[in-house]
Amino acid sequence: MMILGIETSCDETSCALIKEGGRLVRQALFSQTELHQTFKGVVPEIASRSHLEKINELVEQMIQGNQKIDGIAVTIGPGLVGSLLIGKMTAEALGWVWDVPVVGINHLEAHLYSSFLEHKELKPPFMGAIVSGGHTHLVLVEDFGKYKVLGRTRDDSAGEAYDKVAKLLGLDYPGGPIIDRLAKKGDPTAIPFPRAHLPGSWDFSFSGLKTAVLYFLQNLTNKGGLKIESLPLPLKTVADICASFQSAVVDVLVRKTISAAKKFGLKKIAVGGGVSANSFLRSELIKKGKENKLKVYFPSLPYSTDNGAMVALTGYYKFKKGFYDAKNQEPLEVNPSLPIKNWN
Ligand code: KG4
Ligand code: ZN
């Protein structure tokens, strides 16, 4: 079985091929980061136009040498509606021309399975943590396509908090990797930023932390007779803010994920989404996992952020289990706020 995966939900255009055994054959990816950098965030119109310009070229790279395709998997949500539509229309057109079935994929599920690309021993059940630019979810994965969403963010996602704090500090977009880098030079105990542990719930909240960073900056700049716009601050101060902010985010993510895994009697944790690329989150979760006899899985860095391989892989599992929208049935629907649903 050879599955073509198509991902266009946000600012990465990516295609990949997955073969029997869920093995990656190849992937092509175009990142739009540079196009959005001047705006310090993703501009939906620019994103969809860029997907349209790139998608055919990436598909061609997948089918070189007359590669036969047996099925197509495409992200249909959550994401930006215009961007999702480019992927969906491409998948439907190719499915019609090649006469192969097309399956719609939930982007969050794809992040949940991204660790499976490289860790072939990983199987459900496991505690899934999705930490992306748009979402922060704790999901009990009982089996392929069988989930219990335990908690989600009540306001900003972890990635959004990183990007917004980076913006406050006058740093570039996306802020996550920059804060990750700067935090290595700072003191994580320098500023006691608040942690929203929300006892009794598996939900998250990061907007209070973001506001605390804003107030801290306002206070700092007022005291120095400066305006917040007069950033950049001294590098050491920025590094301390980054390290202290990151420590607050990671503290909450690690504690809740470990507690949830223990509470539900699981032995494995799999993390996915852009923030899973974070070096401090990785080291802390692995360390705390070991202390609690839990095995923690992360995708390698290229598969932590958005990529076509995880979409093709999720499609492969769905095709294998017979869950796909048969040919010539109702057209696929994109849904910008698609929830995680069980397959049956
Ligand atoms: O999963 P993703 O590529 O896109 C969405 O599905 O949203 O995640 C993008 C997010 C951005 O907010 C970005 O700042 C964050 O992932 N990110 C990181 C790191 N690399 C990317 N956050 C913290 N540390 C990183 N190293
Ligand atoms: Zn994503």
189-208 tens-digit pLDDT: 999 999 999 999 999 999 99
> In the prediction, which pLDDT does 328 show?
43
Average pLDDT over residues 91-116: 96
User: Do 309 and 290 share a structural domain?
Assistant: no
From the CA atom positions of the chain, what is the Rg in Å? Answer: 20
Asked if residue 130 is part of any domain, the answer here is: yes
pLDDT at 236 over 80: yes
Give the side-chain half-sphere CA count within 13 A for 160: 15
Pocket test for ligand 1, best of 105, 114, 132 (most atoms within 8 A of CB): 132
> In the prediction, which pLDDT does 228 show?
55
pTM summary value: 0.95
Q: What number does the ligand 1 atom closest to the CA of 158 have? A: 12
Within 8 A by CB and 6+ apart from 194, the residues are: 208, 209, 212, 248
Asked if residue 340 is part of any domain, the answer here is: no
| Total domains present in the chain | 2
User: Do 280 and 260 share a structural domain?
Assistant: yes
Average pLDDT over residues 85-110: 96
Domain that holds residue 156: 123-298
| Mean pLDDT over the full length of the chain | 95
More confident of the two residues 8 and 227: 8
Residue whose pair of structure tokens reads 């503290």 in the numeric block: 251
| CATH number (domain holding residue 244) | 3.30.420.40
> In the prediction, which pLDDT does 159 show?
97
Q: What number does the ligand 1 atom closest to the CA of 134 have? A: 7
Average pLDDT over residues 46-57: 98
- Please report, to the nearest 10 degrees, the dihedral formed by the alpha carbons of residues 165, 9, 56, 99 taken in order: 160
pLDDT in tens, 238-260: 999 999 999 999 999 999 999 99
pLDDT in tens, 281-314: 999 999 999 999 999 999 999 999 999 999 999 9
Cβ(251)–Cβ(212) below 8 Å:
no
User: Do 242 and 173 share a structural domain?
Assistant: yes
End-to-end CA distance of the chain: 22
pLDDT band of 226, cuts 50, 70, 90: low
Q: Which ligand is nearest to the CA of 135?
A: 1
pLDDT band of 59, cuts 50, 70, 90: very high
pLDDT at 76 over 50: yes
Residues less than 5 Å from ion ligand 2, measured at CB? 132, 306
User: Do 145 and 68 share a structural domain?
Assistant: no
* Long-range CB pairs of 337-342, under 8 A, 24+ apart, other chains included: 337/77, 337/78, 338/76, 338/77, 338/78, 338/106, 338/107, 338/108, 339/149, 340/106, 340/108, 340/109, 340/137, 340/139, 340/147, 340/149, 341/106, 341/147, 342/145, 342/146, 342/147
Asked if residue 211 is part of any domain, the answer here is: yes
Pocket test for ligand 1, best of 162, 180, 184, 340 (most atoms within 8 A of CB): 162
- Pick from 119, 129, 145, 164: which is nearest to 270 by CA? 129
Q: Which two tokens stand for residue 109?
A: 């599920």
Asked if residue 343 is part of any domain, the answer here is: no
User: Do 243 and 167 share a structural domain?
Assistant: yes
User: Do 319 and 265 share a structural domain?
Assistant: no
What's the sign of the alpha-carbon dihedral 177, 181, 182, 184? positive
Average pLDDT over residues 120-136: 97
Asked if residue 20 is part of any domain, the answer here is: yes
More confident of the two residues 156 and 221: 156
